[in-house]
Structure 1
């Protein structure tokens, strides 16, 4: 019986490691904070190195293909007899079929014996390039159709991308022969889903995919350029369809988490913006104390910033960022007044 009486407090102490003095609890919490910050720093460094390596590998592997295709497209446009700008319904399946027929007839003509002595008729002398919005469609050598995609941001030109399609005959389905599209965009999935059934839709979808990627990427680049001194811990996926960053304010920390419905979306669909009060914040009323296992603990409760989420949902990221920063003091003051009632 005596031994049970002696062991009982010890068991209780083991079950509740925070039952010691306040200094021990404080030291333990500080050690935990240090470990979390160390882990965060290491993870951030790994992500940074991964992004740099991925970008370098992608750039180096595509560089030679890009230069070769770019020269071929430039030569095709330089030798063109006409460039036709298509609008609306002028770009359709019938026209694409005509382009396919043209490249195969030209390839068959060149493969015929005595081709050198044969004088081509006016139909074969025509070298037409088609421009559909930001796409340029060329007839390339070897029964290939080339599509050059022009991307832009804020009316300023960005990168060019290429996609070359081929088929063994006019009646067989086309396939993607080569391209300079970033490897993390699902061009092979689009080829399997669309190209065999609707080549025109495939060509248009790839253009939307590229432009949306460039748009998301440039929005993130611009907020880093304009507000880099206020942003830390910025993370994003390779296609920029997941973006997270932290905004440092004197009174609080604001975390922004963005998710896009798909890879052709320019504005996010799942948004979460939280304000975390700092220890020296004027909104200490948002800090809740609770008693757990006989210990009084302090827990910071974040508050969702609905005005900020609405801004990100409707505006481009740089515009929304400016809106968040401009209205943050007023939003924090209102929350402080509400929680103090």
Structure 2
């Protein structure tokens, strides 16, 4: 690129070469758009039918358990601990054993066993279910408004054996099985809390993307995101410069990106390489060299995506004029 800038005259055929490159890029973009559409269709197919049937069944079971409760206890801070979780597990197994050995008619009245207590820890609700199972219902929110409800049902053959996840309605692309292998047998409380954090952050990232599409969809060109929204990329092409935004999140419990790159590419309105006239030197190529927009990266590092987007767009024309003064249309 440096050598090309030093040449007073363009080599013959350079403009044609750039035009051919533009054509190839447009073809690649069209193919990528088709892949993204197929990706969305596949995601929709994977998230319906059997998954929805499991959700409806578990939702009814959780609703029945909460309707039968005699008390709901809200826990805060250290009240939610391993000891309480052990108590819940013990009660579940004792109730399952009692029902297995006695008929309903001969069951003695025992307030300790008949009490059906539900525990609420923040956005999590823990219910005792039939059999040697108990479930966690995760409630998610965005900007104070409720979003989806997710379920996770745990079971163990005995009080002394490790628990396992028998059913859940958590999206398949979130690492519940990995967390089960790494955490559930050694620290069940940490497993329950971690899954809640993963779901909260997933919904937060997803809703941030949905909001910028809703508010600024006319300014956004191509937009790509991974299923878990821990990789987000989009293009602003409402300007003579094309601005690309790439966000990476360090882990699935992050709501602010850890790796950010915002680049501005000078693009002539005709989509061809632009030229300027220099007195005494003839026509010289103006190179499409991208520039990083540090102010935009700083905004994305500290603000939510919709807030950062508004900040970026507000200052973008002024910043682009300083970076690319030869583009008079900015």
Q: TM-score, normalised by structure 1?
A: 0.86
Mapped to 1, the partners of 2:193 and 2:201 lie a distance apart of 12
Matches within 5 A, 1:39-118: 39-118=28-107
Q: What is the SS of the residue equivalent to 2:301?
A: helix
Deviations 1:72-127 (A, max 9, x none): 00000000000000011100000000000000000000001444312231111100
Matches within 5 A, 1:115-130: 115-130=104-119
2:178 to 182, 189, 202: 189
Matches within 5 A, 1:210-249: 210-249=199-238
Alignment match, 1:324: 312
**Bigger relative contact order (CA 8 A; separation at least 6):** 2
The 3 A distance-change label for structure 1 pair 134 and 310 is same
The 3 A distance-change label for structure 1 pair 38 and 199 is same
Q: What is the SS of the residue equivalent to 1:168?
A: coil
Deviation at 1:149?
A: 0.2
Q: Could you say which structure has the higher helix fraction?
A: 1
Q: What is the SS of the residue equivalent to 1:59?
A: coil
Alignment match, 2:188: 199
Does the CA contact (< 8 Å) of 1:285 and 1:336 recur in 2? no
Count of aligned residue pairs for this structure pair: 310
Q: What is the SS of the residue equivalent to 1:36?
A: helix
Mapped to 1, the partners of 2:109 and 2:96 lie a distance apart of 13
1:259 to 248, 256, 259: 248
Alignment match, 2:297: 309
What residue ranges of structure 1 are gaps of 5+ in the alignment? 1-19, 288-295
Deviations 1:127-147 (A, max 9, x none): 000000000000000010100
1:145 paired with 2:134, answer yes
Does the CA contact (< 8 Å) of 1:175 and 1:191 recur in 2? yes
1:269 to 241, 258, 271: 258
The 3 A distance-change label for structure 1 pair 29 and 302 is closer
Larger Rg: 1
Does the CA contact (< 8 Å) of 1:107 and 1:141 recur in 2? yes
Deviation at 1:62?
A: 0.7
Mapped to 2, the partners of 1:109 and 1:286 lie a distance apart of 86
1:209 paired with 2:195, answer no
Deviation at 1:278?
A: 1.9
Does the CA contact (< 8 Å) of 1:255 and 1:275 recur in 2? yes
Mapped to 2, the partners of 1:141 and 1:112 lie a distance apart of 15
Alignment match, 1:333: 321
Deviation at 1:58?
A: 1.8
2:155 to 166, 175, 180: 166
The 3 A distance-change label for structure 1 pair 30 and 337 is closer
Deviations 1:164-217 (A, max 9, x none): 000000001110001000000000000000000000000000000001000000
Matches within 5 A, 1:270-289: 270-279=259-268
Deviation at 1:28?
A: 4.1
Mapped to 1, the partners of 2:72 and 2:306 lie a distance apart of 37
Q: TM-score, normalised by structure 2?
A: 0.89
Mapped to 2, the partners of 1:261 and 1:286 lie a distance apart of 42
Deviation at 1:29?
A: 3.3
